[in-house]
Amino acid sequence: MNTSLKVALLQANLHWEDTRANRQMFDEKINSIPEKVDLIVLPEMFSTGFTMNAVEMAETMDGVTVSWLKEKAMSLNCAITGSLIIQENDNYYNRLLFINSDGSVEKYDKHQLFTLAKEHEVYTAGQEEIIIDFKGWKIKPQICYDLRFPVWARNTTDYDVLLYVASWPKMRINAWDTLLKARAIENMAYCIGVNRVGTDGKGFEYNGHTSVYDTLGNCLFDESAIEDERIRIVTLDKTHIEETRNKLGFLNDRDNFKLIF
């Protein structure tokens, strides 16, 4: 078990509906990470931008982008995660893939589909919560709009890290900042949010605010100049989680419930 976890967060301007250009761009960014890390995090729909054009842009689990992710993870001996459009059994999914350093894959399909953009008319909602056990760390992945729904993120399994990848627009960035901090505090876990920057093919602007909060809601980054393309590296500390939970014990008072779909 690793008592520390070093994570690289890639805040990038995506090429609209151009999977080849995005793979090349992220290939360069990943290769430029200045130090060895355990995990690399890419934004939501990192290969296309947040598009409803699933018919044209979807790939399969044995497609080019998934193969590229596996190659990068194995060659760098680290894990890589982010979401992309996957077609499977005649359905389309906004699917987060967590690629381990040995090339094995774990997946999470976005549960809360963004009805304002009619995502629910194109994609199939995931119905499974997952916890990824990575180097002794329990990581719960989520995607963008999931952030607005605290019950879906509730820490009933004593996870260590709540991880969001997103295409969260500039016009609602205050909600992003506020909810990431709230999810960290209420779940007594690290909360990571990786967002994109730039303007997409529909004219929506994104201004990043990629952040990491500790179990008390403290931001681990200097929050100035956070709206440009950048790679941010953070080291998470398991001791911080244990000491805070042992001292305060708020999770002991959580309600018991069961989600019904």
How far is it, in rounded angstroms, from Cα 115 to Cα 118? 4
Closest CA to 7 of 182, 164, 166: 164
Q: What stretches of the chain show up as alpha helix (H) in DSSP?
A: 19-31, 54-57, 64-76, 150-153, 173-187, 238-248
Q: What is the DSSP letter of 92?
A: E
Q: How far apart are the first and last CA of the chain?
A: 35
144 is an active site residue = yes
For 24, other C-beta atoms within 10 Å of its C-beta total: 13
Catalytic residue among 140, 144, 186, 191: 144
Domains of the chain: residue spans and CATH: 4-253 (3.60.110.10)
User: For the range 242-247, what are the long-range contacts, defined as Cβ-Cβ under 8 Å and sequence gap of 24 or more?
Assistant: 244/188, 244/214, 244/215, 244/216, 245/188, 245/215
Q: What's the confidence (pLDDT) of residue 260?
A: 76
Q: What's the confidence (pLDDT) of residue 191?
A: 98
Q: Is the pTM of the predicted complex or chain greater than 0.95?
A: yes
Closest CA to 253 of 161, 159, 188: 188
191 is an active site residue = no
CB distance 39 to 5 below 8 Å: yes
Q: What's the confidence (pLDDT) of residue 15?
A: 98
6 is an active site residue = no
How far is it, in rounded angstroms, from Cα 259 to Cα 69? 32
Q: What's the confidence (pLDDT) of residue 184?
A: 98
Q: pLDDT digit string (tens) for 18-46?
A: 999 999 999 999 999 999 999 999 999 99
Q: What's the confidence (pLDDT) of residue 59?
A: 98
Catalytic residue among 29, 44, 70, 191: 44
Structure tokens given for 231: 């790679």
Q: What's the confidence (pLDDT) of residue 223?
A: 60
12 phi-psi bin (left φ>0, alpha ψ -120 to 50, beta other): beta
Mean pLDDT per 10-residue interval, the chain, length 261 residues: 93 98 98 97 98 98 98 98 97 98 98 97 97 98 98 96 98 96 98 97 96 96 74 96 96 85 75
Q: What's the confidence (pLDDT) of residue 42?
A: 98
Catalytic residue among 110, 140, 181, 191: 110
